[in-house]
Amino acid sequence: MSENTSNASMPTPPKLLDQLRAGTRLLYDSKRTEDASVGWSTKFILFIGKRHPNLMGVTEIENGFV
């Protein structure tokens, strides 16, 4: 019998903004601070063309913001 693992059985990692919310909750008590962080991050993600920041290199970021 072969070991066939289905993607359905593996949990998906949390989305970027969900990770941001969780991290902000650890650092701050304010819901407004959390909302502001998510709002600014959303604007940044839209500005960079909806690309995940982890996929961008240092040179790409430096060239985009100079």
pLDDT in tens, 4-59: 555 567 888 888 889 889 998 888 778 888 999 899 888 888 888 888 777 888 87
Report if residue 30 sits inside a domain. yes
pLDDT at 4: 56
**The pLDDT value given to residue 8:** 62
* Domain, as residue range, for 56: 13-64
Q: How many domains does the chain have?
A: 1
7 within domain boundaries? no
What is the SS3 string spanning the chain? CCCCCCHHHCCCCCCHHHHHHHHHHHHCCCHHHHHHHHHHHHHHHHHCCCCCHHHCCHHHHHHHCC
Between 61 and 28, the more confident residue is: 28
- Overall pTM > 0.85: no
In a domain, 3, yes or no: no
Whole-number pLDDT of residue 7? 59
**Has residue 8 been placed in a domain?**
no
